[in-house]
Amino acid sequence: MLEISSYLAYLGISLAVTVWVGRTLFSNGRIFLLDAFAGNAQMADSVNQLLRVGFYLLNFGFIALFLNTGRIPETVGGLVKQLSWQVGVVLLVLGTIHLFNMKNIAGMRSRALHKLKPKVDEAAAAPASRWPEDASQPTV
């Protein structure tokens, strides 16, 4: 009975946290994607949806694989210990995936901003000299 309780608790906590994080990232990530895609709402929404599907597939797959850690808890203390290990690993994986996604979105934004930056003539971009042509002559 303790084994089934362990599985149910792990699945319940892990799936609930994954869905909550996925929804939060989906709803709050749109603004970053709009910025990264220079206001192209259709592209931002499409990428946001694809990121959400990939996020869920990756995390649900990991949760399913990590369900069986090879140990069956024999006590309630063992159950809590195993559950904290499993949920902790799932949270670390969620955080790592989030950081990876944010790094990629930041890279997309940087590339988009670089494309929008107007090409400036190097001569016009050179800073003006602070000193008159002949610094040895005082100016009046």
Q: In this predicted model, what pLDDT tens digit does every residue of 27-84 receive, in sequence order?
A: 988 888 888 888 889 999 999 999 899 989 999 998 998 888 767 778 888 888 888 8
Evaluate whether residue 80 is within a structural domain.
Answer: yes
Evaluate whether residue 131 is within a structural domain.
Answer: no
The reported pTM is 0.68
Evaluate whether residue 124 is within a structural domain.
Answer: no
Let me know: does 109 contact 32? Beta carbons within 8 Å: yes
Res. 23 pLDDT band, cuts 50 70 90: very high
**Greatest CA separation for the chain:** 96
Evaluate whether residue 128 is within a structural domain.
Answer: no
Answer yes or no: is pLDDT of 98 > 90: no
Evaluate whether residue 137 is within a structural domain.
Answer: no
Res. 19 pLDDT band, cuts 50 70 90: very high
Evaluate whether residue 57 is within a structural domain.
Answer: yes
Answer yes or no: is pLDDT of 135 > 70: no
Torsion angle defined by CA atoms of residues 96, 98, 100 and 103, in that order, rounded to the nearest 10 degrees: -140
Evaluate whether residue 134 is within a structural domain.
Answer: no
Res. 93 pLDDT band, cuts 50 70 90: confident
Evaluate whether residue 126 is within a structural domain.
Answer: no
Q: What is the predicted pLDDT for the residue at 128?
A: 56
Q: What is the predicted pLDDT for the residue at 110?
A: 81
Domain count of the chain? 1
Residues 6+ apart with CB under 8 A from 126: none
Range of the structural domain that residue 63 is part of: 2-119
> What is the distance between the alpha carbons of residues 125 and 52, in angstroms, rounded to a whole number?
43
The mean pLDDT value of the chain amounts to 81
Residues 13-20: contacts with CB under 8 Å, at least 24 apart:
13/83, 13/87, 14/63, 14/86, 14/87, 14/90, 15/60, 15/63, 17/87, 17/90, 17/91, 17/94, 18/56, 18/59, 18/60, 18/63, 18/90, 18/94, 19/56
What's the mean pLDDT in 92-121? 78
Element (H, E) at 132: none
